[in-house]
Structure 1
Amino acid sequence: MTSLGFLYPGHSAEDDYPRIEQLLGSDVRLTVVHTDIGEDAHRVDALLEMGSAHRLEAGVEELRLAGAEAVVWACTSGSFVYGLQGAHEQVRGLAMAAGLPASSTSFAFAHAAREIGATRVAVGATYPDDVAALFAAFLKEAGTEVVAVRGSGVVTAAEVAGWDYDRVLALARAADRPDADAILLPDTALHTASHLPALEKDLAKPVLTANQVSVWEALRLTDRRVNAPELGTLFTREPIVQA
């Protein structure tokens, strides 16, 4: 049994995790601990506070007691808002507090794009444009070219949690460009776990979503690889061999 731990901000789309656990169809257990988000706002100052060390460290002991072998801060905006260096420091502090390998959803996107060979990506973000631009800047600094960014201007995670498939697809289509190798949907408040095959079929290219890549990243930290076609291309592709 591989036990993976996730620090998840508030309550929005956390039901993606038991769904993903079921779709993995193997001996993998996903434990989600909710962090106190403070103010629910896709605004830089609120996001910096949401991802602060004291909020993350408060959930670490529960994950340790659950037997987690790795921990992922399952929040994209609450990690990339710090920039690449700041996000590294955030993860380093989390790893030290947990005594476990650690990462965040922002790094999960960068690693997952590399895994599927997507050097150019389009971003469909629920966030306001200024916050979406920070994610694009993070990806660029991490070595992934962003050919398009589409923001949606949604301020709260609570609103995003209510989006249905048609709205998720509309966002992805609006963001897509012919030269994009993959489409990234960076919000862990967005329900996507049950939509991945349909999204990839409708868009005819790989789609990476926040909760999907968070789980993949936790598996990567524990050197596990699980083939799960219902979780999209990321969970079916052979790893890209870097030159």
Structure 2
Amino acid sequence: MTALGFLYPGHSAEDDYPRIEQLLGSDIRLPLVHTDIGEDAHREDALREMGSPERLAAGVQELRLSGAEAVVWACTSGSFVYGWEGAQEQVRALARTAGMPASSTSFAFAHAVRELGGRQVAVAATYPEDVAELFAAFLKDAGAEVVSVRSSGIITAAEVGTWGVDEVLALARAGDHPEAELVLLPDTALHTASHLQALESAVSKPVLTANQVTVWEALRLTDRRVNAPRLGTLFTKEPIVQV
């Protein structure tokens, strides 16, 4: 049995995690602890406060008691908003506090893009334009070429969490680009776990979504690999050998 721990901000699409646990169909548990988000706003100052060390540290003890072997800060905007170096320091501090390997959804996207051998990516974001551009800058620092950025202008995670499959598919289609090898949907408040195959069919290419890559990143931290086709190409592709 492997337990993978997640710190999830507030309450929006946390039910993706038991759904993913079911789809993994293996001896893997996904314990999740909610963090206090403060103000629910896709705004740089609010996002920095959401991802502060104190807010993350508050949930660590509960994850330890769950037997988690690794922890991922299950928030994209609350990590990339710090920039590449700041996001690295965020996960280093989390690893020190938790006493286990740690990462965040932002780094999960960077690692997943590399895993799939992609370079040119399209971003289909729920965020306001300025926040979406911060994610694009983070990806560029990770070595990706961002060929397009689509912003939906949504301010709160609560609103994002109300979106159903039709809105999610429309976002992916609108955010796709002919030159993109991958389409990225970077909000853990967005329900996507049940829609990954439909998303990839809609754009005819691999799609990476926030909660999907977050779980994949936790598996990566514990050297686990699970073949789960219903979770998209990322969970079926053989690993890329880095040279």
TM superposition score normalised by structure 2:
0.99
Paired with 2:238 and 2:115, the residues of 1 have a C-alpha distance of: 8
Deviation at 1:205? Answer: 0.2
1:57 to 2:51 alignment: no
Partner of 1:164: 164
Deviation at 1:242? Answer: 1.6
Deviation at 1:20? Answer: 0.1
Partner of 1:129: 129
The residue matched to 2:90 in structure 1 has which SS? helix
Partner of 2:117: 117
CA displacement, residues 81-102 of structure 1 (integer Å, 9 cap, x when unaligned): 0000000000000000000000
Letter of the 1:189 partner, please give it: A
Partner of 1:196: 196
Deviation at 1:222? Answer: 0.1
Partner of 1:235: 235
CA displacement, residues 158-215 of structure 1 (integer Å, 9 cap, x when unaligned): 0000111111111111111111000000000000000000110111000000000000
Partner of 2:175: 175
Paired with 2:3 and 2:195, the residues of 1 have a C-alpha distance of: 24
1:91 to 2:91 alignment: yes
Paired with 2:27 and 2:179, the residues of 1 have a C-alpha distance of: 38
The residue matched to 2:93 in structure 1 has which SS? helix
Letter of the 2:99 partner, please give it: G
Partner of 2:205: 205
Number of aligned positions between the proteins: 243
Paired with 1:205 and 1:106, the residues of 2 have a C-alpha distance of: 21
Letter of the 1:200 partner, please give it: E
Partner of 1:45: 45
- Give the conservation status (yes or no) of the 8 Å contact 2:113–2:119: yes
Moved more, 63-72 or 173-182: 173-182
The residue matched to 2:31 in structure 1 has which SS? strand
Paired with 1:29 and 1:171, the residues of 2 have a C-alpha distance of: 30
Paired with 1:169 and 1:198, the residues of 2 have a C-alpha distance of: 8
Paired with 2:199 and 2:10, the residues of 1 have a C-alpha distance of: 26
Q: Is there any run of 5+ residues in structure 2 with no aligned partner, and where?
A: none
Partner of 1:225: 225
Q: Is there any run of 5+ residues in structure 1 with no aligned partner, and where?
A: none
Partner of 2:24: 24
CA displacement, residues 74-124 of structure 1 (integer Å, 9 cap, x when unaligned): 000000000000000000000000000000000000000100111110000
Partner of 1:138: 138
Paired with 2:242 and 2:179, the residues of 1 have a C-alpha distance of: 22
Partner of 1:70: 70
RMSD across aligned C-alpha pairs, in angstroms?
A: 0.5
Deviation at 1:151? Answer: 0.5
The residue matched to 1:240 in structure 2 has which SS? coil
Paired with 1:89 and 1:15, the residues of 2 have a C-alpha distance of: 29
TM superposition score normalised by structure 1:
0.99
The residue matched to 1:191 in structure 2 has which SS? coil
Identity %: 79
